[in-house]
Amino acid sequence: MKIRPLLLVLAILANIVMITTFTYAWFANNQLYVIDTVGATKEQYFAKGSGTEVDPYVISKAEHLYSLSKLHEMGLMQQKYYYTMADPITGNPVTIDFNDASLPTQYQTLFKPIGDHIYPFLGHFDGNQSIIKNVNINGSLKQDIGFFGLIGDDAVVTNFFLDKPVIYSNPLSTDSRVGFHEHGVSFSDSYATGFIAGHVLTSATLERVYVIEPMINSGTNQYYNGSKYGLIGNTSDNASSEDGGLSNAYYFELTAAWLHFIITKGLELDANTPLYVETGLRLSTVLSINSNGQAVITGNTYNNNYYTISTLKVSYSSSFSNPVYLYDLLIELGYVTPSQGVNFNKKNIDVVGGTTVDNVANTMSFGVSYNAFRTPYYNQIFNARLLKNTIVLYVRATGESILGQMTATFAPNAELRFIPGFTADSTQITGYRYIENRSWNNKNALIAYPGGSGATVPIHIGSAFAAVIEDANGNMIVVNPNVVIPHYYVFVLGISNSQVSTVNSVSFRYVPASSDEFAALYDVDVINNVDEILNNPQYINSDLYFDYFLGLNQTMNVRLLKTFDASGEVYRLYISGHNAGSSSFYVNVTNMSTKRIEIYINNSLLVTNSNKSTSLRFSSSGITISTS
């Protein structure tokens, strides 16, 4: 009577073993792994160990790294397991070369990042000063792309070298992005790419990881894809919020050609689209193309307000339900790349009505504006539409006296000036006092743009029009910066001539005055060879980083090399395969320790300097460079 239940239990146990064995066997056979035994224990996918702190999993071969990657992708390593790279007998460091001729061909294929947006790496990885050479990372269908993908809460990754890794980061427009997290660039489904890791949470530890001649290949990129530092793609407090955009260093630009493009594309949508709030008015009332092909933001007013590019809302409903910003709609339809650094952004820079844009001459025409308005009162909503014929910039409050560097180009007859709402006052915390309801009776009350057209100049609070904070509804509220820490300082640029004059472009860039921003990269760097570290316990990091953001179908390959010549060490950044399409993108080099750098485009030297900041703008018309 007891034999049947016993047999039933044994049958169930056998089925469980078969199912478990099949699951891991599928993994092994799918990857063509050469292993002696396929079973239900993770230990069989490493040289030895049980994954505890005192008995870590030992990684000594390429197949063990593949196992680590695949087991994470399957969600089977979501505990704090411990790993070390070592010879299983001696415990010495190992070198794993994915170009080793003796390596089975199945291990020479593309390698998936370790940990991803679904199953992050949560363990403790000690490389034991080992070397991983010639690994090719396949970022397909991964949001966070690097040797490690997403390094999660309290994880530790330390103490190894990556020699000549190639990171393939080429998301397709058709890829599924369900479950992707926020990367802080206006899209929740953008990609982050780095040599070492795609995304590192701030609670994780990443240290003593060094890279030799790494490369990112985005030569066939189709979607929004960027890197915050080059070495790592992104940092954040958690996997759903990003630290300060793609980089706390930021930049933006407005050109006449881009503004003409925005107006043209807006009208192509539907010139008869109603404007939100302005009942009875159509988009074609505000934007137009004249007989000369020039784009016009009209100076017609509604309730004494002039139109601006960034504040235009449109609705296809006669009741004005579900209105959207025109600019956001252009982003959604793929006409505009949503990034600080791409020419126009609603919270970066704005153009107020009464402006004619000529894309042939590359000019924006403005008239006299300085005596047309007053500074707002405290707690009042800042309304850019009251500032006819101006360019309005929103610059982050950084706590530093210099808020950034601006470059403006304008006609020789133009007198481009800042319209200031502040005056110097040493009794104030900021050194400046805001004047409510201020007016200007003549151009001498304004601040002339220093250095003339084409000059790059520092800007500070004394040239600002007002200080604002952004409320929960997106309104900009005027505040006293000596009492409340503002989110932005607003700068207003106007023409002070008696006749209409022209502006070609305005760009802005901010780089932190200290390297505190780069704490996530403490003790990781690009080096020339392993002996730089092994023979030099006092090695000092280069503090050299780069950032970029690619839009739809924008492509680029980038390689960073540290080498030595007769003058000493030099860092060489090689960029190739770049295609900006009809838009533009930037590559920005932040050089905190003012190392000597060389930037090559398609293997031709473009620029050599030791500047703290170098910004390259790629567009269909070529490459422009700005430095500070």
Angle at the Cα of 482 (from 479 to 483), degrees rounded to 5?
65
Q: For residue 122, what are its two tokens?
A: 């949560």
Q: What is the DSSP letter of 86?
A: S
Q: What is the pLDDT, as a whole number, of residue 339?
A: 44
Whole-angstrom Cα distance, residue 121 to residue 190? 20
Burial of 568 (0-12, 13-18, 19+ CB in 10 A): exposed
Q: On the CB side of 626, how many CA atoms lie within 13 Å of its CA? A: 24
Question: Helix, strand, or coil here: 532?
Answer: helix
How confident is the model at residue 293, as a pLDDT? 87
Res 56: pLDDT: 95
Q: Give per-residue burial for 75-86: e unless 16+ CB within 10 Å, then b.
A: eebbebbbbbbb
Read off the pLDDT band of 188 (50, 70, 90).
low
Residue 376 DSSP symbol: P
Determine the pLDDT at residue 369.
Answer: 63
Using H for helix, E for strand and C for coil, what is the string for 561-619?
A: EEEEECCEEEEEEEEEEEECCCCEEEEEEEECCCCCEEEEECCEEEEEECCCEEEEEEE
Residue 26 has pLDDT above 80, yes or no: no
Q: Is the pLDDT of residue 18 over 70?
A: no
Name the residue with higher pLDDT: 460 or 495: 460
What separation in angstroms does the CA of 581 have from each of 274, 337, 556, 618, 622?
30, 11, 12, 9, 11
**Is the separation of the CB atoms in 199 and 235 below 8 Å?**
yes
Assess whether pLDDT exceeds 60 at residue 308: yes
| The predicted structure's pLDDT at residue 605 | 97
Give the C-alpha distances (Å, rounded to integers) separating 165 from 113, 241, 406, 528.
12, 28, 37, 14
Helices (H) and strands (E) in the chain, counts: 6, 43
pLDDT band at 514 (very low <50, low <70, confident <90, very high): low
Quick count: other Cβ atoms within 10 Å of Cβ 472? 5
Q: Where exactly are the structural domains of the chain? A: 1-32, 121-248+528-627, 250-510
Tell me if 162 sits within 8 A of 211, measured CB to CB. Answer: yes
Kindly tell me the sign of the dihedral angle through the C-alpha atoms of 529, 534, 540, 541: positive
Give the 3-state secondary structure of residue 18: helix
Instruction: Compute the distance between CA of residue 596 and CA of residue 609 in angstroms, rounded to an integer.
Output: 6
- Return d(Cα 466, Cα 479) in angstroms, integer: 8
DSSP per-residue letters across 25-53: HHHHHHTT---S---S-GGGGSSB--SSS
- The pLDDT assigned to 131 comes to 98
Mean pLDDT of 477-494: 93
Q: How many CB atoms lie within 10 A of CB 243?
A: 16
What DSSP element (H or E) covers 366?
strand 363-366
Q: pLDDT band at residue 244, thresholds of 50, 70 and 90?
A: very low
C-beta separation of 527 from 533 below 8 A: yes
Residues 6+ positions from 1 with CB-CB distance below 8 Å: none
Top mean pLDDT of 183-187, 465-469, 579-583 is at 465-469
What's the pLDDT at 209? Answer: 96
Q: Does 315 or 165 have the greater pLDDT score?
A: 165
- If you compute the radius of gyration of the chain from its CA atoms, what whole number of angstroms results? 28
Q: What does the pLDDT average to over 192-216?
A: 92
Whether the per-residue pLDDT at 437 is higher than 50: the answer is yes
CA distance 589 to 321: 44
Structure tokens at 52: 């505890």
Distance, CA of 250 to CA of 396 (rounded, Å): 9
Q: Name, in order, each residue with C-beta under 8 angstroms of 109's C-beta and a sequence gap of 6 or more.
A: 136
For position 563, what pLDDT does the model report? 96
* Tokens read off for 407: 């470059």
Question: So what's the pLDDT on residue 41?
Answer: 56
Q: What six digits make up the tokens of 161?
A: 């070298």
**Of 180-184, 273-277, 321-325, 358-362, the least confident:** 180-184
Write the DSSP string, 453-483: TT-EEEEEGGG-SEEEEE-TTS-EEE--TTT
Residue-wise pLDDT for 569-616, tens only, equals 999 999 999 998 877 888 989 888 889 999 999 999 999 999 888 888
Q: Is the pLDDT of residue 247 over 60?
A: no
Q: What is the DSSP letter of 523?
A: T
pLDDT of the residue at 543: 87
Model confidence pLDDT, tens digit, residues 533-566: 999 888 888 989 998 888 889 999 999 999 999 9
Residue, of 334 and 168, whose pLDDT is higher: 168
Mean pLDDT within 183-189:
51
Closest CA to 136 of 168, 161, 104, 96: 168
**Mean pLDDT of all residues in 491-517:** 75
User: Does 120 have pLDDT greater than 70?
Assistant: yes
Residues whose CB is less than 8 angstroms from the CB of residue 604 and which lie 6 or more positions away in sequence, other chains included:
none
Q: What is the mean pLDDT of residues 40-69?
A: 87
Q: Specify which of 124-128, 496-500, 551-555 reaches the highest per-range mean pLDDT.
A: 124-128
pLDDT in tens, 312-322: 888 877 676 77
2: CB partners within 8 A, 6+ apart = none
- pLDDT digit string (tens) for 83-115? 999 999 999 999 999 998 888 777 767 789 999
Q: Which residue has the higher pLDDT, 340 or 417?
A: 417
